[in-house]
Chain A
Amino acid sequence: QQQVKQSPQSLIVQKGGIPIINCAYENTAFDYFPWYQQFPGKGPALLIAIRPDVSEKKEGRFTISFNKSAKQFSLHIMDSQPGDSATYFCAAGGGNQGGKLIFGQGTELSVKP
């Protein structure tokens, strides 16, 4: 019930491609779904987040798609750049979880020039 499952574990795309990272959750009480970006040697940084009352949110080249009935959400990176190479984590929280965020296992993205 507490798990957030993230896939794929790693992803390689060419510059300009659109990597897609998927996450699935089980606890229907979750009401906050952020994505974090982490570069080597740094802490995770909040990238974009969505609440379940909308199906899509865009910020710059980053888009979250949310499917409440399927309990799935995904991150799309438009026109990906080598500087986007990082590890991406989805998370879920809110609702009856208090301040907790449950993180997925992470996706290591490599964008080739």
Chain B
Amino acid sequence: DAGVIQSPRHEVTEMGQEVTLRCKPISGHDYLFWYRQTMMRGLELLIYFNNNVPIDDSGMPEDRFSAKMPNASFSTLKIQPSEPRDSAVYFCASSKYRTEAFFGQGTRLTVV
């Protein structure tokens, strides 16, 4: 298996623009997680899905952030409008069981 695939790997955008990050989980995994990593806050869980249904979105920072999982092989994290403080590395992870999460390579987002 190719592992968790994220795109794009790098994204530079201007403040106020919409940003969409994409994730393809490992086939057969029924949990999908979105994490954000910054120097100040470390690794934070934003939201996770089980069988395509959002289970816990308490980590989503504000209404500018939204996530969808239309099917078992695809998820998106959208930021609209983006702000400089959203600059971070965003990771998608998936797991077959609740806890053994496998991470993608991440998307480095820079908002200028």
Contacts and interface: CB of A to CB of B under 8 A. Distances in A.
B105 interface: yes
B65 interface: no
Given A43-B105, A89-B43, A99 B95 contact: yes
A96 to B, nearest CB: 11
Interface in A27-58: 32, 34, 36, 41-46, 49
Nearest to B42: A105
Contacts of A86: none
Interface string A2-40: 000000000000000000000000000000101010000
A94 B99 contact: yes
Interface residues on A, range: 20 to 34
A98 B55 contact: yes
Interface residues on B, range: 20 to 34
Q: In terms of DSSP, what is the predominant structure of the interface of chain B?
A: strand
Contact of A100 (B56, B102, B105): B56
B55 A44 contact: no
Interface of B: 4, 31, 33, 42-43, 45, 48, 50, 55-56, 91, 93, 95, 98-106
Given A34-B99, A99-B56, 20 more contacts: A32-B98, A41-B105, A43-B103, A43-B105, A45-B103, A46-B100, A46-B101, A89-B42, A89-B43, A93-B98, A93-B99, A94-B99, A98-B55, A98-B56, A98-B98, A99-B99, A100-B45, A100-B48, A100-B56, A101-B101
